[in-house]
Amino acid sequence: MVDKGEIKKMAIQILHDYLGVTTSKLYKNFYMNQTEEMVLISLKELLTEYIGESQARDAFIRYGL
């Protein structure tokens, strides 16, 4: 599991990799005021909608989340 301090950075990187620069910048601002738990929930929902549940789960594993 990734260190709590790294979760937000990792989430932004994952969004950048899957959804692009613009989306990752928007969520970077949003995630600044969110708890790590909320960031993970949001990221899981976004990835599940975009790439499907199985691939989202694989992405979480690949990135150590």
Backbone angles phi, psi at 2, to 5 degrees: -75, 145
Q: Average pLDDT of 3-19? A: 90
Given a cut of 70, is residue 2 above it in pLDDT? no
What residues does each domain of the chain span? 4-62
> CA–CA separation, 25 vs 20, rounded Å?
9
Separation of CA 49 from chain center: 12
Its pTM stands at 0.84
Give tens-digit pLDDT for 29-60: 999 899 999 999 999 999 999 999 999 999 99
Is the distance from CB of 39 to CB of 51 less than 8 angstroms?
no
Structure tokens at 4: 């709590």
